[in-house]
Amino acid sequence: MEKRSLALSDFNAANTSFRLDGKIAVVTGGGSGIGRAISLRFAAAGAMVRILDLNLSDAEATVRLIVQNGGHAAAFACDVTDQPGVRKVLSGIFAKERMHILVNNAGISHIGNAESTSEADFDRVLLVNVKGYYNCIHACIAHMKTNGGGAILNIASIAGTSGLGDRFAYSTSKGAVIAMTYSVAKDYVQHNIRCNCISPGRVHTPFVDGYLKKNYPGREAEMYDKLAKTQPIGRMGEPHEVAALAHYLCSDEAAFVTGTDYPLDGGFLRLHG
């Protein structure tokens, strides 16, 4: 095969700043935290964002932020655990526009080990964190195949590879998400569908603040500092940092990237201990 030499255009392409102009991006759980940061980042890059969230008012609040900054977005109430409901929402989007990007972000956490985790809690975590992702992929994959491909990004967690203490159900669910990512990437690479996942470490979101307030009243600052220092880099991640990596992975600049789990963890997996 003839070796291709680099051209100036290869470097000029960097000036696009990872634009998403004309792309329709569906973000689940986009009403708060990491999902909101991803939605704002994608909209700023030119994407038309469709935010699916169990809490419609949260999704609408994200839409307002996007519109106030000159972007385009719409909010949809959606329970990702309800397959007919997911299909109905996404089919309504497909009827009007081509979907280019799916970000599976909606999820829940749980604290407990194998003994203390009830069957109901285990089922609930896997229903949201695993079946919810499956439901969205299942509903959009044929549409992507028919329309020339697309990018799927799953938000996983370092818990899926490291097995965090007292996070039995959560770690199990995120391990499944990572395996799901590999499977989808392999099955659909010939259809120009890329599938990757991001595995964040601890990220400072409203969930963290709520967890500390509930479990350590009066000691929130102390416990926050303790949790932050479990990352070798010395702090928690921020939602906008996850959004930056999500932006790259869903952009055309990442056209050669699929079937990969990206730890975003302040050195936790490789430098901890």
| 266 close to 235: Cβ distance less than 8 angstroms | yes
Catalytic residue among 133, 170, 188, 224: 170
Lookup: tokens for 65: 């932020």
Residues in contact with 257: Cβ distance below 8 Å, sequence separation at least 6, in sequence order = 194, 196, 249
Note if 170 is an active site residue. yes
CA distances from 67 to 41, 98, 172 (A): 13, 21, 38
Distance CA 267, CA 261 (A): 15
Rounded CA separation 107/125 (Å): 8
Take residue 181 and report the two structure tokens written for it: 């990512």
173: closest CA among 246, 123, 103? Answer: 123
What count of Cα atoms within 13 Å lies in the side-chain half-sphere of residue 135? Answer: 26
Conformation bin of residue 21: beta by default, left when phi > 0, alpha when psi is -120 to 50: beta
DSSP 25-89: EEEETTTSHHHHHHHHHHHHTT-EEEEEESSHHHHHHHHHHHHHTT-EEEEEE--TT-HHHHHHH
CB neighbour list of residue 247: distance below 8 Å, 6 or more residues apart? 18, 20, 38, 41, 42, 45
Q: Which residues are annotated as catalytic?
A: 170
